[in-house]
Amino acid sequence: MEKHPIQIAATSGLNKSSMLDQEMCQYMLRSVLAGLYLGIIVFLYWSLLQNLSGSPFGKVVASLFFGVGLFIIVITGAELFTSNNMYMTISSLAGRTSWKQTMFLWIVCYIGNLAGSFFIALLLLGAGSYASLPPDHALYVGALSKVNLPAEIIFFRGILANWIVCLAIWTSLHFKEDVAKFLAIIFIISIFLYLGFEHSIANMGTFSMAILGKGEVTVLEAAYNLFWATAGNIIGGGAIIGLIYWVINRKQYAIGKDF
């Protein structure tokens, strides 16, 4: 019998936690890769936004391309903190993992994503990618605007961002074909980019590039944004998607630890 997404998510959470316990280096590498993949797409997003600034469809195109990064993460088995907010919440509610295991995995994954985000920013620096960017480039303007937002705005935008990200992941679990997963992810993910919500891991890449380039963002300002965005992301992915879909589906599809 074909498994329901709630069952797939709970089993995935258990598998992720088991990998972390048994092969921590492998898990960390997967987390670093997610930061790398998302980081390069972040740079593409800001570059498209800058280069297509004269087009009424520029932001639409840039937002659609961003979903490619999440699809790469999904299809290659890389580990993303924000999608794990959903997976690990469901697996812990299902009793497949403990909340202690969930918190530990989130911390390790977050650190790995940060390392990957900074590493891709370093690679772009070495490639001379920032050298030709003007001081008013979309990357620098965008990074500065993010750190100047009030804490409550960042927090609620963080909730909305990961609600949409995890909704894309949740929707993709209904499909077997990679093309269907791809289309579901890129169109849903484009919503949070177009509306300007706050995704902590994407912001890691943005801030790393701005700090290494000609941006005016400081490390403390970046940390301020990441703190509130991360808190919002956990609620958006863990509570709004993970908890709610667990409540909706648990009686029909979940059978303790044995499903």
Predicted TM-score of the model (pTM): 0.95
**In the block, which residue shows the tokens 């849903």?**
188
From CA 81, how far away is CA 194, in angstroms rounded? 21
- Percent of the chain at pLDDT > 90 equals 94
From CA 93, how far away is CA 245, in angstroms rounded? 11
Structure tokens at 258: 């044995």
CATH class of the domain whose range is 5-253: mainly alpha
Q: Using the 8-state DSSP alphabet, how is residue 243 labeled? A: I
Structure tokens at 239: 């509570």
- Burial pattern 118-131, b for ≥16 Cβ within 10 A else e, equals bebbeebeeeebbe
Tell me, what amino acid is at 145?
S
Tell me, what's the pLDDT at 2? 74
Tell me, what's the pLDDT at 254? 58
Please give the average pLDDT of every successive group of 10 residues along the chain, which has 259 residues.
87 97 97 98 97 94 94 96 98 96 98 98 98 96 98 98 97 93 95 97 98 96 98 98 94 59
Tell me, what's the pLDDT at 255? 53
Tell me, what's the pLDDT at 250? 83
Q: Using the 8-state DSSP alphabet, how is residue 2 labeled? A: P
Tell me, what's the pLDDT at 257? 46
